[in-house]
């Protein structure tokens, strides 16, 4: 549908009242994961500040701002090929093809200027218009996050779409390697006596060594070049709201870490993201199970989380087995999710629901 009177450009300060009218509209809030109670001062604060990796556009129809689009580029070094577009249109202008034009502009930015060749898009499963738009632009459904969001009095499932336009996969540098990573075989003669406790700044040296270990990096999104200053920053400062960390300790040595981050978005506060790592010297000794049991006690009996979610490389069968043991189920697969250790890997997104 041609819209000759639609002009798409970057936002100006004078656009803020119209942008607030869009984002605070209850019908728009039902299509996303924000609240329509967002106050005007929050909108001013949001749009007067540029944010690294965030690219924003507005749609102007006959001189009136009627749509807002953004593209978030993932700034983690191993995920910089990915981005996430989003489009919001004032309900008075639904059904006019504005969302199509906005998304088309965002995809041009991703493809031809930022070289983002994996784009993620999340929609509510019941939002037929959004799902149709995703499929129109060749986004493919990778899975469904069950009870991923709450709104209008009930939980909603979230479809996870991806659009892939990778470089030539025949290139020696870009290869998807499905072979599983093998754990080290230098197991101790006796099973260690492990204590689980909250993380402490004294653990910085041990945790930094784990984060830097090549095998840990290969099974997570860490980098072997990670300096100790980052560990000091993570553990030396007060954790952000919703973050809870436990460590596994063997004779004073910190050998594992597990983290749950409760989402602070009010419409996702029933859920949290889980991450864990164990030093490869201690793989296959049941330490992951001890950490999982301890953190799930917190999620279930203290935080009352209804959904705990995580991502795991598909070439990590030991971790997948551990998560399934604790009731996590595979909801979908992120294709060509991350690059590391000289290869591309897919990842499962999994969740445990109560």
pLDDT digits (tens, 9 = 90+) for 96-141: 999 999 999 999 999 999 999 999 999 999 999 999 999 999 999 9
Whether 296 maps to a domain, the answer reads yes
Rounded to an integer, the average pLDDT of 39-67 is 92
Q: What CATH number corresponds to the domain at position 64?
A: 3.40.630.30
Task: Let me know if residue 186 belongs to a domain.
Answer: no
DSSP 146-200: EEEEEETTEEEEEEEEEEE--S-TTSTT--B--PPPPPP----SS---EEEEE--
Residue 227 in domain: yes
| Whether 142 and 222 share a structural domain | no
**Residues 317 and 219 reside in one and the same domain:** yes
Give yes or no: residues 276 and 159 share one domain. no
In a domain, 292, yes or no: yes
Q: Are residues 37 and 140 in the same domain?
A: yes
Residues 6+ apart with CB under 8 A from 324: none
Q: Which 8-state DSSP code applies to residue 279?
A: -
User: Do 151 and 30 meet the contact criterion of CB atoms below 8 Å apart?
Assistant: yes
Q: 33 — phi, psi (to 5°)?
A: -120, 20
Q: Do residues 198 and 127 both lie within one domain? A: no
Last residue of one domain, picked from the residues 164, 186, 218: 164
Q: Are residues 157 and 238 in the same domain?
A: no
Domain assignment of residue 1, yes or no: no
Asked if residue 106 and residue 217 are part of one domain, the reply reads: no
Among the listed residues 102, 161, 183, 150, the one whose alpha carbon sits nearest the alpha carbon of residue 271: 150
**Do 241 and 347 belong together in one domain?**
yes
Q: Which two tokens stand for residue 341?
A: 């250790």
Distance CA 345, CA 354 (A): 29
Neighbours of 93 (CB within 10 A): 18
> Any residues with CB less than 8 A from the CB of 320 and at least 6 apart, and which?
312, 314, 330, 348, 350
* 163-213 tens-digit pLDDT: 999 876 555 444 444 555 555 556 565 778 999 999 999 999 999 999 999
Do 138 and 11 share a domain, yes or no? Answer: yes
**Domain around 73:** 6-164
pTM, two decimal places = 0.89
pLDDT of residue 186: 60
Which position has the token pair 């942008």?
19
Per DSSP, the three-state class of 242 is: coil
DSSP strands (E only) in the chain: 6-9, 54-61, 64-73, 82-89, 118-124, 140-151, 154-164, 194-198, 243-250, 253-262, 271-278, 307-313, 329-340, 343-353
How confident is the model at residue 342, as a pLDDT?
85
Question: Is 222 within the bounds of a domain?
Answer: yes
Evaluate whether residue 188 is within a structural domain.
Answer: no
Q: Are 260 and 349 in a shared domain?
A: yes
- Length reported for the chain: 354
Average pLDDT score over residue span 31-40: 91
Same domain, 121 and 235: no
Confidence at 227, pLDDT banded by 50, 70, 90 = confident
Share of the chain above pLDDT 90, in %: 80
Structural domain contains residue 183: no
Number of helical H runs and strand E runs in the chain:
10, 14
Domain count for the chain: 2
- 346 shares its domain with 260: yes
């Amino acid at each position: 549908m041609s819209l000759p009177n639609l002009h798409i450009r970057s936002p100006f300060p004078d656009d803020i009242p119209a942008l607030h009218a869009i984002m605070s509209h209850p019908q728009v809030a039902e299509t996303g994961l924000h609240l329509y109670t967002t106050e005007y001062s929050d909108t001013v604060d949001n749009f007067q500040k540029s944010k690294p990796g965030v690219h924003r556009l507005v749609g102007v129809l006959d001189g009136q701002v009627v749509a807002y689009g953004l593209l978030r580029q993932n700034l983690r070094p191993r995920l910089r090929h990915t981005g996430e577009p989003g489009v919001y249109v004032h309900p008075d202008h639904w059904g006019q093809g504005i969302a199509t034009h906005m998304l088309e502009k965002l995809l041009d930015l991703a493809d031809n200027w930022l070289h983002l060749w994996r784009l993620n898009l999340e929609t509510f499963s019941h939002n037929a218009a959004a799902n149709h738009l995703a499929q129109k632009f060749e986004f493919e459904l990778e899975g469904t996050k069950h009870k991923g969001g709450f709104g209008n009095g009930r939980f909603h499932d979230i479809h996870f779409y991806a659009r892939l336009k990778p470089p030539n996969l025949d290139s020696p540098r870009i290869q998807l390697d499905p072979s599983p990573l093998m754990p080290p075989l230098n197991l101790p003669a006796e099973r260690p006596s492990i204590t689980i406790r909250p993380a402490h700044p004294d653990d910085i040296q041990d945790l930094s060594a784990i984060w830097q270990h090549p095998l840990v990096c290969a099974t997570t999104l860490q980098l072997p070049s990670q300096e100790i200053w980052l560990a000091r920053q993570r553990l030396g400062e007060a954790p952000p709201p919703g973050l809870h960390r436990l460590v596994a300790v063997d004779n004073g040595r910190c050998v594992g870490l597990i983290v749950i981050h409760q989402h602070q978005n009010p419409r996702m506060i029933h859920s949290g993201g889980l991450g864990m790592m164990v030093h490869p010297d201690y793989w296959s000794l049941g330490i992951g199970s001890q950490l999982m049991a301890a953190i799930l006690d917190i999620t279930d009996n203290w935080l009352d989380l209804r959904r705990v979610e995580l991502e795991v490389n598909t070439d990590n069968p030991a971790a997948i087995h551990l998560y399934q043991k604790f009731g996590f189920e595979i909801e979908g697969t992120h294709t060509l999710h991350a690059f590391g250790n000289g290869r591309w890997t897919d990842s499962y997104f999994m969740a445990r629901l109560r």
